[in-house]
Amino acid sequence: MKAPLLELRSLRKLYSADFALADISLGLEPGEVHVLVGQNGSGKSALMSLVAGQSKPDSGDMLLDGEVVDFASVNDARKAGIVFQRQDPLLYDNLNVAENVFFHRLSTRRRWPRIVDPYEMREECAELFARLGLPIDPGAPVSSLGYTQRLLILAVQTFVAESRLVIFDEPTAGMTDPEREILFTIVREIGARGVGIFYISHKLDEIALVGDRVSVIHQGRIAGSMACRDADRERIIGLMTGRSFSERYPRLDTAKGPRVLSVEGLQSGSVLKDVSFSLHKGEILGVTGLMGSGRTRLANCLFGSVRPSAGSIRIEGAPAAFKHPAEAMARGLALIPEDREHDAVFHFQDIIQNMVIAALTRFKGASGLDTRYMHELTSEYISGLAIRPGKPGDVMQGYSGGNQQKVVIARWLMSLCRIFIMDEPTRGIDAAARIDIYNAMNDLVSKGASIILISSDVDEILGMCDRVLVLARGTMVCDLARGQASKERIIDYASG
C-alpha cells in the first residue's frame, strides 16, 4: 500500500502552561485538500508551523512519502517542497506585482550573466492573470494594493512555485464571492498536479466548496475527522465548541435616532467618486463591494487617515475636515482597520497596553494612570469577548490572529466612541467568536452608538445591518433598506 504524502504520528508540542498540541495524528494524500477548522487559539496554525519547519515538535514523528523528516528550519521544509501561505500577506512593497509573483523563479534571457527580463515577466504574469480571471495590473506597485489583492497575489505566487505540499492559512479572509472563486480555482489547479493541500478556514461553507476531508481541532487535539461530503454545519460547530448555535446573526431591532454622520460628494483621487450617504444614531450601516471598489479608502477618509480630494463630512451637523486620526477620535470616531497585522496590533506589547491605548483618559488618577483599574477593565473585556488564553499581561505576538483581532475590537469598545467604523471586523474569527462580536455590536447600538460595518461577507451584511450601501468602482451604486436587500441583488449591483 502506497504511503500518504504526509503523515503525522502522535505529534506533541508544549507552548505554555495553558496550551499544548497533544497526540496529533493526521494524514494527507497527494492531490487531497484537507480542511482544518477550529476556534481561534485551538492550534491550527501552530500545528501547521510544525509541518512548515517554523518550530519543532517535542515528540512524535512526521513522515514525508513514508520517510521520517525533521526540519531544522523553514528553509529545510521549503527545499522539501512545503510552502506555507500565511494569512498576513508579506510581499515586497518596493517591487511590482509581476516581480512578486515570480520572485522565487525570476524570468531570464541568459543563464549567465543573470539578467532579469521585466517585459517577459510582465507578459507571462498577464497571461496567467487572464487565465485565472484576476483583474490586477502586473506592472502595478504592490504598495498600491489592498489587503485582498495582496492575498490573491500571494496565492498566485504559491501557484507558480514548485511544491509538493501547500498550506493555506485563511486564504479568503476579507474576499467577496467572485474573489473567492479565483482563489478556489488556484487551489483546485494546484491539487490537480498531485500537490497535497492543508486548508485552514473559519468559513464553514468552504468545507464543501473546496475540501475533500475535514478535521476539527479543539484545544490542541483532533476532535474529529470526516469526509467533507459528510460534514454538516451543526456537527462541525459542535466539535469546535461542544455546543450548537441556532442563530448566526443575533441582530436586535433598535429605534433609530437623528442623523449623526453626513457625507456629501466625497472624492479621493481616482478611488472614490462622488460618494454620499448618512448614518443615524443606533444604526448599523453596511458597506460592501468587490475588491478595489474603495471600501477601505472610504473608511480611511472618514477617520482622517487619508484626506479626501473633494466633498464634505459632517458630524451631528458640524463640519469635520479631519487632518489626522486624532482629530477624528476627539470627535467620537473609532476605526477597526482591515489589516490588523500592520495597522492595529502592537505585537510586542501586552494585552493591557493594546487595549487601553485609545482610552487613556479613562484611567487618569491623581498621581498618574490608575493601573489597577486598567487591569480590572481589561479583564472584563477579555472575559466578554472570550479572548484566549486571556491573561492581561500576555504579549500579543504569541496570540492567534483571531484573538489579536478581538483585542483590537476591545480597544475601541473601551474608548466609548459614538461612531464605529468596522472594516472587516470578523476577518479571521471563528464561527463561535463571531457571535461574541455581533453581540458587542448590538450592545453598542442599544446604548446609542452607530456603526458602519464594512464587510465582504454578504451574509454578514444581510444578517447584521439596517441598511446596505454597495460600492462599485469607487461609486455608491445603491442604498438598500434591510427588507429590500438580498444576496443576489447586492452581488448584481457590486459587479456593475
**CA separation (Å) from 219 to 39, 242, 350?**
8, 11, 22
Do 392 and 346 fall into the same domain? yes
pLDDT digits (tens, 9 = 90+) for 374-404: 999 999 999 988 888 889 999 998 888 788 8
Q: What is the DSSP letter of 4?
A: P
Domain ranges, residue 365: 259-494
Number of domains into which the chain is organized? 2
pLDDT tens readout for residues 420-457: 999 999 887 777 778 888 988 999 999 999 999 999 88
Check whether residue 309 and residue 187 sit in a common domain.
Answer: no
Query: Residue 344 falls within a domain, yes or no?
Result: yes
Verify that 356 and 467 share a domain, yes or no: yes
Residues 479, 446: contact at Cβ < 8 Å? Answer: no
What pLDDT sits at residue 107?
Answer: 46
Please report which confidence band the pLDDT of residue 114 belongs to, taking 50, 70 and 90 as the band edges.
low
For the stretch 269-328, pLDDT in tens is 999 999 999 999 999 999 999 888 999 999 999 999 999 999 999 999 999 999 999 999
Question: Which residues, listed in sequence order, are joined to residue 192 by a DSSP beta bridge?
Answer: none
Amino acid at 99: E
For residue 475, tell me if it sits in a domain: yes
The model's pLDDT over 351-363, given as tens digits with 9 standing for 90+, comes to 999 999 999 999 9
pLDDT value of residue 437: 87
Residue among 183, 154, 211 at smallest CA distance from 29: 211
Sheet holding 318-319: strands in order across? 272-280, 259-268, 310-315, 318-319
Helix (H, G, I), strand (E, B) or coil at 170: coil
- The verdict on 39 and 174 lying in the same domain is yes
| 105, 359, 363, 407 from 369: Cα distances, Å | 54, 11, 5, 20
- What mean pLDDT comes out for the span 188-212? 93
Whether 252 is covered by a domain: the verdict is: no
* Residue that finishes a domain, picked among 193, 208, 241: 241
| Beta pairing, strands 20-28 & 6-14 | antiparallel
Strand, coil or helix: 371: helix
| 266 and 236 together in one domain | no
| Domain annotation covers residue 212 | yes
Residues 279 and 202 in one domain: no
Q: Report how far residue 139's alpha carbon sits from residue 379's, in angstroms, rounded to the nearest whole number.
A: 48
Q: Are 215 and 28 in contact (CB under 8 A)?
A: no
Residue 67 lies in a domain: yes
Give the whole-angstrom CA distance, residue 271 versus residue 339: 19
Give the chain's mean pLDDT.
Answer: 90
Task: Give the C-alpha separation, 444 to 245, whole Å.
Answer: 22
| pTM for the structure as a whole | 0.70
Helix or strand or coil: residue 148? helix
Residues 462 and 322 in one domain: yes
Q: Sheet harboring 333-336: ordered strands across?
A: 333-336, 419-423, 450-454, 284-289, 467-472, 475-481
The backbone torsions φ and ψ at residue 412, rounded to the nearest 5 degrees and listed phi first, read: -80, -30
When pLDDT is cut at 50, 70 and 90, the band that residue 176 belongs to is confident
Q: How confident is the model at residue 418 (pLDDT cuts 50, 70, 90)?
A: very high
pLDDT at 407 over 50: yes
- Check pLDDT > 60 for residue 40: yes
Residue 362 lies in a domain: yes
Q: Give the closest residue to 124 by CA, choosing from 142, 140, 101.
A: 101
The position carrying cell 528553509 is 75
Name which of 84-93, 258-267, 437-446, 453-462 the model is least confident about: 84-93
Q: Do 458 and 345 fall within a single domain?
A: yes
- Alpha-carbon distance of 127 to 133, in angstroms, equals 10
Buried b (16+ CB within 10 A) or exposed e, 456-472: bbbebbbbbbbbbbbbb
Residue 298 lies in a domain: yes
Looking at the structure, tell me whether residues 339 and 459 fall in a common domain.
yes
Select from 241, 269, 290 the last residue of a domain. Answer: 241
Q: Are residues 221 and 317 in the same domain?
A: no
Do 119 and 195 share a structural domain?
yes
- 41 pLDDT band (50/70/90 cuts)? confident
Q: For position 250, what pLDDT does the model report?
A: 83
Q: Nine-digit cell at 194?
A: 498531485
In angstroms, rounded to a whole number, what is the distance separating the alpha carbons of residues 470 and 454? 10
**Is there a contact between 142 and 257 (Cβ–Cβ < 8 Å)?**
no
Q: Look-up: residue for cell 483585542?
A: 407
Asked if 281 and 237 sit in the same domain, the reply is no
In a domain, 467, yes or no: yes
Among 206, 241, 276, identify where a domain stops: 241
| Domain CATH code at residue 116 | 3.40.50.300
